[in-house]
Amino acid sequence: MDIRTVGVIGAGQMGNGIAHVFAQAGYDVLLTDISQQALDDAVALIDKNIERQVSRGKTTAEDKAAAMARIRTTLKLADLGPTDLVIEAATERETVKNAIFEDLQPHLAPHTILTSNTSSISITRLAARTDRPEKFMGFHFMNPVPVMQLVELIRGIATDEQTYKTMLKVVESLGKTAASAEDFPAFIVNRVLIPMINEAVYALYEGVGNVRSIDQSLKLGANHPMGPLELADFIGLDTCLAIMNVLHDGLADTKYRPCPLLTKYVEAGWLGRKTKRGFYDYRGPEPVPTR
């Protein structure tokens, strides 16, 4: 199947990055959100990010203008119905995602492939609530989307081979690399990454080290570009907690029990960079550890 038009649901951090890379790869993109302000902010951010690429010589002003012209926005979810491929990048809550697909379903073209950018929720379960489980896949981009090379492709139990092969070609057309994952809780990247972050929070909780010493240890001792607590703040502590809960509930293994300190930070509303406070306080000129 030839994918030409792409609908992206959600204009947040992931959605705007996905729209960015698809527009640059030559696809016509229709971006939707429940907020006009979110759509306007997303387009402005995409423009700013591509302008940065122009200034670094990674693209031209002409290519930037062409990419921006390929991005349209709408507040009406139904407008995405005729697109060849839909990518849902809304809040990481299953009830929200199910409601979106349910509202979209009556407007879909018969050939439209549905995908979710979920980082942990069962693709099989999401697909089963739609009228086309065979044309449904997990399409998990890493953050920030324009920079990160990997895309996880997750097949649900009903996903057919044609859909999978079509999505492999799409990933290749974006200049990215696909990692194929089976539909088990948190897939590959977050199955390994988030428990590591959770263990770092346990090390903080138990007083093994403070925020700075834990992050320095992994950066300098394991050659990680960011420390685990710094990375947790970047991802969002609410997202980390949600994924740990998916792992704990889905695998029923105590090794995936979320650290109580992670839960406390989320309860306090200290979610990381997006709220200016997490394991670091970002309200000043330099991030300051909060423990």
Which residues make up each annotated binding site? Answer: 10-15, 33, 92, 97, 119, 143, 274
Q: Which residues, 6 or more positions from 118, have their beta carbon under 8 angstroms from its beta carbon?
A: 88, 92, 97, 126, 138, 140
What angle do helix axes 61-69 and 36-55 make, rounded to 10 degrees?
A: 160
Residues annotated as catalytic are 119, 140, 152, 190
Count of C-beta atoms within a 10 Å radius of residue 225: 8
Q: What is the DSSP string of 206-246?
A: TTSS-HHHHHHHHHHHS--SS-HHHHHHHH-HHHHHHHHHH
Which residues make up each annotated binding site for NAD(+)? Answer: 10-15, 33, 92, 97, 119, 143, 274
Phi, then psi, of 13 in degrees rounded to 5: -55, -45
* 227 closest CA partner among 259, 243, 258, 204: 204
Helix (H, G, I), strand (E, B) or coil at 34: coil
